[in-house]
Amino acid sequence: MTAPATNTPTTAAPRGAVRAPALLVLEDGYVLRGSAYAATGRTVGEIVFSTGMTGYQETLTDPSYHRQIVVMTAPHIGNTGVNEEDPESGRVWVAGFVVRDAARRASSWRATKELEDELAEHGIVGLCDVDTRALTRHLRERGVMRAGIFSGAALPAGAEHLTEQAREVLLEVVRESPQMRGADLAREVSTEEAYVVEPSGEFAGKEPVATVVAVDLGIKARTPQQLAARGVRVHVVPQRTTLAEVLAHRPDGVFFSNGPGDPEAATHEVDLLRGVLDAGLPFFGICFGNQLLGRALGYGTYKLEYGHRGVNQPILDRTTGKVEITAHNHGFAVDAPVAEPSVAPYQDGRYGRVEVSHVSLNDNVVEGLRALDLPAFSVQYHPEAAAGPHDAEHLFDRFVRLMQSRPGNDEGPAEAPLAGSGSPAATGEARTPDTAPTTTAPTTESEAR
């Protein structure tokens, strides 16, 4: 028996209709029977669970979830519908969506559409009427793995009775799908064209307090908005951007965003970041950007057994001693010494000393890095607070202060750490191109997607 071809996903079932059967198959042979949700057909990806009780629209439109099937641990999903204000990008990125109880209708004054209809329009194959608590416990014990959702014409003959032959056909489909380890995915979710987000709020129409180049590795719309609200002009540029193109904007700082994939495969981004560090530019990275800073400094990264996902993850800010509740979406982490500062391994300490600034209070995973001899820091979580919590928004203020305190900047005191004596930044070797790119850029995030 051969696997059925991938179907063109269909529209969502009418409200109150009897749902068609569907199967969730994990690569270790674990199978759950459920009902088709949103589109029907076939989808495969890495299956992960998100512990957030709210913010599912932001989760679905977060590019960091590219090629992942997301299981929501909260039991009732869809009751607030979807709206035009909360998306974090111009499309739904998840590979599939698994919920326990699908809401029959939205009941929020902000809703403009039903969640299931939105997912069906984007061709997202989903599953409902399954015990997501049991599924989460299975993933917690066995670790995240590849999985597939099959419904409609994508179910092989005998699937309704889950015959051994049908199970083997579906298992083969899942096990032949690509793994997340080694996946270079940022280029698949990055903007095609650069665009600018101008200062907003009380800073609208005024000269920016700083100019930042934000490298889009899967950036969420809320991130440049956070900087713009602090008076920063943000040039959002594609993943493929070169160092010369970054420097052409004459930035006061550089930002690396969140994004999907294995940081070990992101060689271009690591090379670009080393150029930024060599130029002595203040740097701030979040999530994927944190992992890339770790690799640029010479530390390793590794894949977590089940990752951190959701909006309720506790971390300790070792700089302030405060505990913050934060939003996470990562399956990889930096391998750096936690107990005390260490010399960055790259090229025999070229970038000086580094400390682990934040740690997870659940499993002691590295959640932040701070260079002690360079103006660079990063965190593993999402401080842009979409859909919350807001505990870590102050990190954007920290980045602005770091840029303003850069030597030669008259906006503030010279508090930023200087580059190590062995770096090109300290010896004046950084390159500055004469002209900026002439490409006409879109002015909004949605135009860039």
Quote the number of domains for the chain: 2
Cα 266 from Cα 295, distance rounded (Å): 9
Tell me the pLDDT band of 103, cut-offs 50, 70 and 90. very high
Residue 323 burial (CB count, 10 A) = 12
* DSSP summary character for residue 163: -
* DSSP summary character for residue 3: P
Domain span at residue 157 reads: 21-175
Q: For residue 122, indicate whether it is catalytic.
A: no
Within this chain, do residues 245 and 338 fall inside the same structural domain, yes or no?
yes
Q: Is residue 290 part of a domain?
A: yes
Read off the pLDDT of each residue in 249-261 and give the average, rounded to a whole number. Answer: 97
Angle among Cα 220, 391, 362 to the nearest 5 degrees reads 95
Lowest mean pLDDT among 116-125, 274-283, 402-411: 402-411
Cα 331 from Cα 9, distance rounded (Å): 28
Annotated binding site: 64, 259, 261, 288, 291, 329, 331-332
Tell me the pLDDT band of 106, cut-offs 50, 70 and 90. very high
Q: Is residue 299 part of a domain?
A: yes
Q: For residue 138, indicate whether it is catalytic.
A: no
Catalytic residue (choose from 116, 269, 324, 384): 384
Q: Is residue 284 part of a domain?
A: yes
Q: Which of 215, 151, 208 is nearest to 400 (CA)?
A: 208
Cα 12 from Cα 213, distance rounded (Å): 41
For residue 58, CA distances in Å to 91, 94, 209, 244, 300 come to 11, 11, 29, 33, 30
* DSSP summary character for residue 440: P
Cα 380 from Cα 363, distance rounded (Å): 14
Q: Which of 354, 377, 357, 413 is nearest to 253 (CA)?
A: 377
Annotated binding site for L-glutamine: 64, 259, 261, 288, 291, 329, 331-332
The pLDDT, as a whole number, for residue 44 is 98
The pLDDT, as a whole number, for residue 158 is 75
The pLDDT, as a whole number, for residue 379 is 96
The pLDDT, as a whole number, for residue 414 is 34
pLDDT-above-90 percentage for the chain = 74
Catalytic residue (choose from 138, 235, 328, 382): 382
Read off the pLDDT of each residue in 201-209 and give the average, rounded to a whole number. Answer: 96
Within this chain, do residues 277 and 365 fall inside the same structural domain, yes or no?
yes
Whether residue 415 has pLDDT greater than 70: no
- Higher pLDDT among residues 10 and 429, named by residue: 10
pTM for this model (two decimals): 0.86
Catalytic residue (choose from 287, 324, 355, 367): 287
Q: Is residue 433 part of a domain?
A: no
CATH (domain of 225): 3.40.50.880
Q: For residue 382, indicate whether it is catalytic.
A: yes
Strand 68-72, strand 96-98: pairing: parallel
State the average pLDDT for the chain: 87
Whether residue 385 has pLDDT greater than 80: no
Within this chain, do residues 303 and 378 fall inside the same structural domain, yes or no?
yes
- What is the tens place of the pLDDT at every residue in 128-185? 999 999 999 999 999 999 999 999 999 988 777 788 888 899 999 999 999 999 999 9
The pLDDT, as a whole number, for residue 31 is 95
